[in-house]
Every structure is written in structure tokens, then in C-alpha cells.
């Protein structure tokens, strides 16, 4: 008796088709997942770029504010020693050391500027004694401040600079300052008492600390309406800078 042969090929084809459908379904699922991941990655990158841009803007604003607030654009009416016109639109701030030879060389320059420009500028003097190399600088600043207690700061300022070579290297330098006080007709006893006054020391220290805040690292250092100047070579150069600035007001 012959046994009939039944072909299994259609079943295999069905299984193959079924397998192929599953693979296609799985492939579409994987493609969909990949697309979602790519979209998520793009969104993540966009967020990073956005926040990075925000941080750059904030950083720039902070730097700008810091730069603005760290520039001595004007004077402290209550504490600064000012020559000229306090209300002038042009303010020159000098950080200086009475014992510094370069400061001594600039003294006649700044004095002439104040005399020539008069009411058109406000000239501010601030102490920045480099005590580590100029042992008498702080004592000279004390002498000027003590004279200021008797309303003769600028007179003592001038006398100290004009006689810089006389007292700079002296050990008993205070004797010279007392002599200058007498020459200026100051009350000697009051001058001596005020010389070491806490208020005097506080003023000198406040000037020095403000110089550090404004990145002063040498003397003399000049600021013109808050802008740090490269020290002019001579009077004419300094004069030209001021004239140009006034013409722009």
C-alpha cells in the first residue's frame, strides 16, 4: 500500500512570512526608538547650548559691573583731598607715595595741571605708600594727614614733595615733618598729637585698600574719570589727554 507524501513547504513559507513580519515589526520598533533617542539628544544639546549662552551673558554682565564698580570714577567728597572744582566733569585721581622718586618727578606736573585747568578739573590725591621699599612713606602720609587736621594738607603735601631728597633716607624723619609744620605755622602740639591719631591711620589705610581694589600695583597711578591711564611722559602729554577729554564732554 502506497503511502501518500504530504509537502511541508507551505508551512515553512508561512513560518518564514511570519518570522519576516516579526522582524520587520521589530525593525520598525528599533527605528522608532532610534528616532526618539536622536530627538532627545538634539533637545539635550539645544538645552546645553541655551544654558551655556545664558551663563556667558551673565558672566559678561558680572564682569562689566565689576569693572565699572572697580574704577574710581569720582571722588569721595567727605574723605578725599581735592584740588580744583569738586563739581567738575573731569576727575583725575592719583595714587601716590611721598617717598617714591617717580611720584616726586610727577609732582610739578600735576601741580601745573591744577593751576592751568583750574575749575575744569577735580584733582584727587590718595595715599598708596609702598612701605616695604619706602620706609618713610607712611610717616610722610601721616604728616600730610596731620596737617590736614589744621586745613593745610596741600601745603604739607607740597612741602614734603619739594623737600623729598632732604628727608627720604633719614632715620628720625618725624623731626623734619615737625619742622615743616612749624614753617607752615601749624600748631606744633596739635600736629604731634594728630600724627599718630587712629583717624589719620584709618584714612591712609582706606586709600591704600581702595588702590588695591582698583588694581593699583605701582606709583604713581592715575585715573581719568575712572579710566586707568598709562602714565604720560611729560606735562604736554598729560595736558593733551585732559584737553581731548574735555573737548568730548
Residue 181 has pLDDT above 70, yes or no: yes
Work out the pLDDT band at 53, boundaries 50, 70, 90. low
CA 84 to chain CA centroid, Å, is 25
Average pLDDT in the 200-210 region? Answer: 97
Residue 54 has pLDDT above 70, yes or no: no
Work out the pLDDT band at 83, boundaries 50, 70, 90. very high
Residue 217 has pLDDT above 60, yes or no: yes
Pick the CATH number of 81-247 from 3.50.50.60, 3.40.50.2000, 2.40.10.10, 3.40.30.10: 3.40.30.10
Residue spans of the domains in the chain: they are: 10-69, 81-247
Tell me the pLDDT tens digit for each residue of 137-173: 999 999 999 999 999 999 999 999 999 999 999 999 9
Could you tell me the three cell numbers for 207? 586709600
Work out the pLDDT band at 61, boundaries 50, 70, 90. very low
Tell me the pLDDT tens digit for each residue of 93-112: 999 999 999 999 999 999 99
**Whole-prediction pTM:** 0.72
Quick one: pLDDT at residue 39?
77
Strand pairing of 90-96 and 81-84? unpaired
Q: Which position has the grid cell 603735601?
A: 157
Work out the pLDDT band at 42, boundaries 50, 70, 90. confident
Q: Mean pLDDT of all residues in the chain?
A: 85
Q: Which residues contact 70 (CB under 8 A, 6 or more apart)?
A: 213, 214, 215
Quick one: pLDDT at residue 122?
96
Could you tell me the three cell numbers for 189? 602740639
Q: What b/e string do you get for 65-96 counting C-beta neighbours within 10 Å, with b at 16 or more?
A: eeeeeebbeebeeeebbbbbbeebebbbbbbb
Residue 5 has pLDDT above 70, yes or no: no
In order, the DSSP letters of 39-74 are: HHHHHHHHHHHHHHHHHHHHHHHHHHHHHHHTS--S
Quick one: pLDDT at residue 69?
41
Amino acid at each position: 500500500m502506497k503511502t501518500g507524501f504530504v509537502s511541508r513547504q507551505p508551512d515553512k513559507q508561512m513560518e518564514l512570512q511570519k518570522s519576516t513580519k516579526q522582524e520587520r515589526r521589530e525593525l520598525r520598533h528599533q527605528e522608532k526608538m532610534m528616532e526618539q533617542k536622536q530627538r532627545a539628544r538634539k533637545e539635550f544639546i539645544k538645552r546645553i547650548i541655551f544654558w551655556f549662552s545664558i551663563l556667558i551673558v551673565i558672566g559678561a554682565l558680572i564682569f562689566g559691573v565689576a569693572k565699572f564698580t572697580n574704577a574710581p570714577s569720582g571722588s569721595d567728597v567727605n574723605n578725599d583731598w581735592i584740588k580744583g572744582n569738586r563739581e567738575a566733569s573731569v576727575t583725575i585721581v592719583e595714587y601716590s607715595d611721598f617717598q617714591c622718586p617717580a611720584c616726586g618727578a610727577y609732582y610739578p606736573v600735576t601741580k601745573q595741571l591744577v593751576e592751568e585747568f583750574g575749575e575744569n578739573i577735580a584733582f584727587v590725591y590718595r595715599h598708596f605708600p609702598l612701605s616695604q621699599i619706602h620706609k618713610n612713606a607712611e610717616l610722610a602720609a601721616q604728616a600730610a594727614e596731620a596737617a590736614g587736621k589744621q586745613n593745610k594738607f596741600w601745603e604739607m603735601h607740597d612741602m614734603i614733595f619739594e623737600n623729598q631728597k632732604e628727608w627720604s633716607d633719614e632715620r628720625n624723619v618725624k623731626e623734619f615733618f615737625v619742622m615743616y609744620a612749624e614753617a607752615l605755622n601749624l600748631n606744633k602740639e596739635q600736629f604731634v598729637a594728630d600724627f599718630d591719631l587712629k583717624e589719620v591711620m584709618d584714612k591712609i589705610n582706606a586709600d591704600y585698600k581702595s588702590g588695591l581694589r582698583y588694581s593699583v600695583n605701582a606709583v604713581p597711578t592715575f585715573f581719568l574719570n575712572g579710566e586707568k591711564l598709562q602714565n604720560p611722559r611729560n606735562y604736554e602729554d598729560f595736558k593733551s589727554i585732559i584737553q581731548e577729554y574735555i573737548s568730548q564732554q
